[in-house]
Amino acid sequence: MAGSSFGTIFRITTWGESHGPSIGVVVDGCPAGLFLSEEDIQLQLNRRRPGQSRYSTPRNEADRVHILSGIFEGRTTGTPIAMEVINETQRSKDYSEIANSYRPGHADYTFDQKYGFRDYRGGGRSSGRETIGRVAGGAVAMKLLEQLGISITAYASSIGPVAAKTFCPEEIDNNPFHLPDAEAAAMAQKYVDRMMEEKESSGGVIECRITGVRLALAILYLKSLMLIFLKRLSLSVLLRELKSVMASQQHMLSAQKTTIPSILMRMEIPPRKPTMQAAFWAA
Protein backbone atom coordinates (compact mmCIF):
# COMPACT_ATOMS: atom_id res chain seq x y z
CA MET A 1 0.00 0.00 0.00
CA ALA A 2 1.71 3.17 -1.21
CA GLY A 3 0.81 6.64 0.02
CA SER A 4 2.03 6.50 3.62
CA SER A 5 4.97 8.87 3.04
CA PHE A 6 4.72 12.64 2.62
CA GLY A 7 7.30 15.26 1.74
CA THR A 8 10.62 15.34 -0.10
CA ILE A 9 13.37 17.08 1.87
CA PHE A 10 11.47 16.83 5.15
CA ARG A 11 9.70 13.49 4.88
CA ILE A 12 7.38 11.58 7.21
CA THR A 13 6.23 7.97 6.91
CA THR A 14 3.36 6.84 9.11
CA TRP A 15 2.91 3.20 10.16
CA GLY A 16 0.67 0.95 12.25
CA GLU A 17 -3.03 0.14 12.51
CA SER A 18 -5.85 1.25 14.78
CA HIS A 19 -5.96 -2.08 16.64
CA GLY A 20 -2.38 -3.22 16.13
CA PRO A 21 0.17 -3.21 18.97
CA SER A 22 1.23 0.37 18.26
CA ILE A 23 1.15 3.21 15.74
CA GLY A 24 3.67 5.87 14.85
CA VAL A 25 5.85 7.74 12.38
CA VAL A 26 9.41 8.05 11.07
CA VAL A 27 10.60 11.60 10.33
CA ASP A 28 13.51 11.86 7.91
CA GLY A 29 15.27 15.07 6.89
CA CYS A 30 15.18 16.95 10.18
CA PRO A 31 18.48 18.82 10.58
CA ALA A 32 20.78 18.13 13.52
CA GLY A 33 20.87 20.32 16.60
CA LEU A 34 17.16 21.05 17.03
CA PHE A 35 16.07 20.91 20.67
CA LEU A 36 13.25 18.34 20.75
CA SER A 37 11.61 16.35 23.55
CA GLU A 38 8.72 13.96 23.96
CA GLU A 39 6.85 16.78 25.72
CA ASP A 40 7.00 18.86 22.52
CA ILE A 41 5.31 16.05 20.61
CA GLN A 42 2.87 15.20 23.43
CA LEU A 43 1.57 18.76 23.50
CA GLN A 44 0.14 18.34 20.00
CA LEU A 45 -0.97 14.72 20.49
CA ASN A 46 -3.00 15.78 23.52
CA ARG A 47 -4.95 18.15 21.29
CA ARG A 48 -6.01 15.31 18.95
CA ARG A 49 -6.46 12.67 21.68
CA PRO A 50 -9.85 10.89 21.48
CA GLY A 51 -12.42 10.60 24.25
CA GLN A 52 -12.27 14.26 25.34
CA SER A 53 -15.91 15.06 24.55
CA ARG A 54 -19.15 13.38 23.52
CA TYR A 55 -18.57 14.67 19.98
CA SER A 56 -15.51 12.50 19.34
CA THR A 57 -14.87 8.77 19.42
CA PRO A 58 -15.47 7.27 22.88
CA ARG A 59 -12.21 5.30 22.67
CA ASN A 60 -10.09 6.53 25.57
CA GLU A 61 -6.34 6.39 24.96
CA ALA A 62 -3.49 8.16 26.75
CA ASP A 63 -1.56 8.39 23.47
CA ARG A 64 1.79 8.70 25.20
CA VAL A 65 4.56 9.12 22.64
CA HIS A 66 7.95 7.45 22.86
CA ILE A 67 10.89 8.71 20.79
CA LEU A 68 12.89 5.66 19.73
CA SER A 69 15.70 7.21 17.69
CA GLY A 70 17.19 10.38 16.27
CA ILE A 71 17.55 12.26 19.59
CA PHE A 72 20.64 12.53 21.79
CA GLU A 73 20.89 14.68 24.91
CA GLY A 74 17.69 16.47 23.97
CA ARG A 75 18.74 17.44 20.44
CA THR A 76 18.17 15.93 17.02
CA THR A 77 21.09 14.09 15.46
CA GLY A 78 20.04 14.57 11.83
CA THR A 79 19.16 10.88 11.50
CA PRO A 80 15.59 9.47 11.17
CA ILE A 81 13.39 10.19 14.19
CA ALA A 82 11.17 7.22 15.01
CA MET A 83 8.18 7.78 17.32
CA GLU A 84 5.73 5.24 18.71
CA VAL A 85 2.39 5.36 20.52
CA ILE A 86 1.15 2.14 22.15
CA ASN A 87 -2.49 1.16 21.51
CA GLU A 88 -3.60 0.47 25.07
CA THR A 89 -7.38 -0.02 24.71
CA GLN A 90 -7.63 -2.08 21.54
CA ARG A 91 -10.77 -4.22 21.53
CA SER A 92 -10.83 -5.98 18.18
CA LYS A 93 -13.84 -8.11 19.14
CA ASP A 94 -15.96 -4.94 19.14
CA TYR A 95 -15.67 -4.96 15.34
CA SER A 96 -16.39 -8.65 14.66
CA GLU A 97 -19.95 -7.86 13.53
CA ILE A 98 -18.74 -5.69 10.64
CA ALA A 99 -16.18 -8.21 9.33
CA ASN A 100 -18.58 -9.00 6.49
CA SER A 101 -20.37 -5.67 6.14
CA TYR A 102 -19.41 -2.07 5.47
CA ARG A 103 -20.01 1.01 7.59
CA PRO A 104 -21.44 4.11 5.88
CA GLY A 105 -19.21 7.15 6.02
CA HIS A 106 -16.05 5.04 6.37
CA ALA A 107 -13.46 3.68 3.96
CA ASP A 108 -14.41 0.02 4.54
CA TYR A 109 -15.98 -0.57 1.14
CA THR A 110 -13.53 1.47 -0.96
CA PHE A 111 -10.51 -0.04 0.84
CA ASP A 112 -11.82 -3.54 0.16
CA GLN A 113 -12.48 -2.74 -3.48
CA LYS A 114 -9.05 -1.18 -4.03
CA TYR A 115 -6.86 -3.73 -2.25
CA GLY A 116 -9.07 -6.85 -2.11
CA PHE A 117 -8.35 -7.34 1.58
CA ARG A 118 -8.94 -5.13 4.62
CA ASP A 119 -8.36 -4.90 8.33
CA TYR A 120 -11.91 -4.50 9.63
CA ARG A 121 -10.79 -3.73 13.20
CA GLY A 122 -11.68 -0.07 13.35
CA GLY A 123 -10.64 0.49 9.76
CA GLY A 124 -6.99 -0.51 10.21
CA ARG A 125 -4.89 1.99 8.24
CA SER A 126 -7.97 3.95 7.16
CA SER A 127 -8.84 4.73 10.79
CA GLY A 128 -8.63 8.29 12.05
CA ARG A 129 -6.09 6.95 14.53
CA GLU A 130 -3.54 6.92 11.69
CA THR A 131 -3.38 10.70 12.10
CA ILE A 132 -1.29 10.18 15.26
CA GLY A 133 1.75 9.79 13.01
CA ARG A 134 0.89 12.90 11.03
CA VAL A 135 0.40 14.99 14.16
CA ALA A 136 3.69 13.78 15.66
CA GLY A 137 5.53 14.52 12.41
CA GLY A 138 3.84 17.91 12.21
CA ALA A 139 4.96 18.70 15.76
CA VAL A 140 8.59 18.26 14.66
CA ALA A 141 7.96 20.49 11.64
CA MET A 142 6.43 23.16 13.89
CA LYS A 143 9.56 23.19 16.05
CA LEU A 144 11.63 23.78 12.90
CA LEU A 145 9.33 26.56 11.71
CA GLU A 146 9.58 28.28 15.09
CA GLN A 147 13.28 28.79 14.39
CA LEU A 148 12.23 30.78 11.28
CA GLY A 149 9.61 32.82 13.12
CA ILE A 150 6.75 31.05 11.34
CA SER A 151 3.61 30.08 13.25
CA ILE A 152 0.63 27.99 12.16
CA THR A 153 -2.86 28.04 13.70
CA ALA A 154 -5.61 25.69 12.52
CA TYR A 155 -9.23 25.80 13.69
CA ALA A 156 -12.84 25.31 12.60
CA SER A 157 -14.33 28.56 11.30
CA SER A 158 -17.84 27.10 11.04
CA ILE A 159 -19.84 24.03 12.03
CA GLY A 160 -22.83 23.54 9.75
CA PRO A 161 -24.55 26.95 9.45
CA VAL A 162 -22.87 28.30 12.61
CA ALA A 163 -19.89 30.49 11.72
CA ALA A 164 -17.37 32.23 13.98
CA LYS A 165 -17.84 36.00 14.02
CA THR A 166 -14.63 36.80 15.87
CA PHE A 167 -11.13 35.32 15.92
CA CYS A 168 -9.74 34.63 19.39
CA PRO A 169 -6.81 32.16 19.26
CA GLU A 170 -7.05 31.53 23.02
CA GLU A 171 -10.59 30.21 22.59
CA ILE A 172 -9.72 27.50 20.04
CA ASP A 173 -8.81 24.84 22.58
CA ASN A 174 -11.53 25.85 25.05
CA ASN A 175 -14.38 24.13 23.19
CA PRO A 176 -14.78 20.68 21.58
CA PHE A 177 -15.26 22.17 18.10
CA HIS A 178 -12.07 24.27 18.14
CA LEU A 179 -13.95 27.39 17.11
CA PRO A 180 -12.16 30.72 17.78
CA ASP A 181 -15.42 32.26 19.01
CA ALA A 182 -17.00 31.29 22.38
CA GLU A 183 -20.50 32.42 21.38
CA ALA A 184 -20.36 30.49 18.11
CA ALA A 185 -19.08 27.41 19.96
CA ALA A 186 -22.13 27.45 22.26
CA MET A 187 -24.45 27.75 19.25
CA ALA A 188 -22.57 24.97 17.44
CA GLN A 189 -23.03 22.67 20.42
CA LYS A 190 -26.81 23.07 20.29
CA TYR A 191 -26.81 22.54 16.54
CA VAL A 192 -24.67 19.40 16.67
CA ASP A 193 -26.75 17.99 19.53
CA ARG A 194 -29.81 18.34 17.32
CA MET A 195 -28.04 16.75 14.36
CA MET A 196 -26.96 13.81 16.53
CA GLU A 197 -30.54 13.26 17.66
CA GLU A 198 -31.62 13.25 14.02
CA LYS A 199 -28.66 10.98 13.12
CA GLU A 200 -27.38 13.53 10.60
CA SER A 201 -23.94 15.02 10.01
CA SER A 202 -23.28 18.75 9.89
CA GLY A 203 -20.18 19.48 7.82
CA GLY A 204 -18.11 22.60 8.40
CA VAL A 205 -15.14 24.71 7.35
CA ILE A 206 -11.54 24.34 8.54
CA GLU A 207 -9.12 27.24 8.26
CA CYS A 208 -5.38 27.46 8.77
CA ARG A 209 -3.53 30.75 9.37
CA ILE A 210 0.21 30.97 8.70
CA THR A 211 2.15 34.02 9.83
CA GLY A 212 5.80 35.01 9.57
CA VAL A 213 6.39 33.58 6.07
CA ARG A 214 9.00 35.43 4.02
CA LEU A 215 7.75 36.62 0.64
CA ALA A 216 10.65 34.94 -1.15
CA LEU A 217 9.60 31.58 0.26
CA ALA A 218 6.02 32.14 -0.89
CA ILE A 219 7.16 33.09 -4.39
CA LEU A 220 9.21 29.90 -4.71
CA TYR A 221 6.64 27.46 -3.36
CA LEU A 222 3.19 29.04 -3.62
CA LYS A 223 2.45 27.75 -7.13
CA SER A 224 3.31 24.11 -6.37
CA LEU A 225 1.54 24.33 -3.01
CA MET A 226 -1.67 25.55 -4.62
CA LEU A 227 -1.53 22.81 -7.26
CA ILE A 228 -1.11 20.11 -4.62
CA PHE A 229 -3.96 21.45 -2.49
CA LEU A 230 -6.33 21.95 -5.37
CA LYS A 231 -5.58 18.50 -6.76
CA ARG A 232 -5.78 16.52 -3.53
CA LEU A 233 -7.99 18.46 -1.13
CA SER A 234 -9.98 20.97 -3.21
CA LEU A 235 -8.69 23.78 -0.99
CA SER A 236 -9.13 27.43 -1.94
CA VAL A 237 -6.01 29.37 -0.92
CA LEU A 238 -6.56 32.99 0.08
CA LEU A 239 -3.45 35.20 0.35
CA ARG A 240 -4.29 38.33 2.27
CA GLU A 241 -2.55 41.44 1.03
CA LEU A 242 -0.16 39.34 -1.07
CA LYS A 243 -0.81 41.29 -4.29
CA SER A 244 -0.04 44.63 -2.71
CA VAL A 245 3.12 43.28 -1.09
CA MET A 246 4.37 41.67 -4.31
CA ALA A 247 3.66 44.82 -6.35
CA SER A 248 5.99 46.82 -4.13
CA GLN A 249 8.93 44.45 -4.57
CA GLN A 250 11.55 45.19 -7.24
CA HIS A 251 14.14 42.55 -6.39
CA MET A 252 14.24 39.14 -4.72
CA LEU A 253 16.64 40.62 -2.15
CA SER A 254 13.94 42.90 -0.81
CA ALA A 255 11.47 40.00 -0.97
CA GLN A 256 13.72 38.01 1.34
CA LYS A 257 13.33 40.72 3.96
CA THR A 258 9.58 41.14 3.57
CA THR A 259 7.13 39.13 5.64
CA ILE A 260 3.63 38.36 4.34
CA PRO A 261 1.05 39.59 6.91
CA SER A 262 -0.78 36.27 6.81
CA ILE A 263 -1.69 33.31 4.63
CA LEU A 264 -5.16 31.86 5.08
CA MET A 265 -6.04 28.39 3.78
CA ARG A 266 -9.64 27.21 3.81
CA MET A 267 -11.19 23.75 3.36
CA GLU A 268 -14.92 23.12 3.29
CA ILE A 269 -16.23 19.72 4.44
CA PRO A 270 -19.79 19.11 3.20
CA PRO A 271 -22.23 17.05 5.27
CA ARG A 272 -22.55 13.42 4.31
CA LYS A 273 -25.32 12.86 1.79
CA PRO A 274 -28.10 10.37 2.61
CA THR A 275 -27.67 8.85 -0.87
CA MET A 276 -24.09 7.96 0.02
CA GLN A 277 -25.28 6.08 3.10
CA ALA A 278 -27.81 4.13 1.01
CA ALA A 279 -25.14 3.29 -1.58
CA PHE A 280 -22.80 1.90 1.06
CA TRP A 281 -25.50 -0.15 2.72
CA ALA A 282 -26.58 -1.54 -0.65
CA ALA A 283 -23.01 -2.59 -1.39
Reported as a single tens digit per residue, the pLDDT across 25-58 is 999 999 999 999 999 999 999 988 877 788 777 7
Identify whether the C-beta of residue 50 lies closer than 8 Å to the C-beta of residue 23. Answer: no
Give the residue among 27, 25, 17, 39 at the shortest CA–CA distance from 129: 17
What are the pLDDT digits (tens) for 146-166?
A: 998 888 899 999 999 999 999
With a pLDDT cut of 70, the percent of the chain lying above it is 73
Which residue type does 48 have?
R
Does residue 201 have a pLDDT over 60?
yes
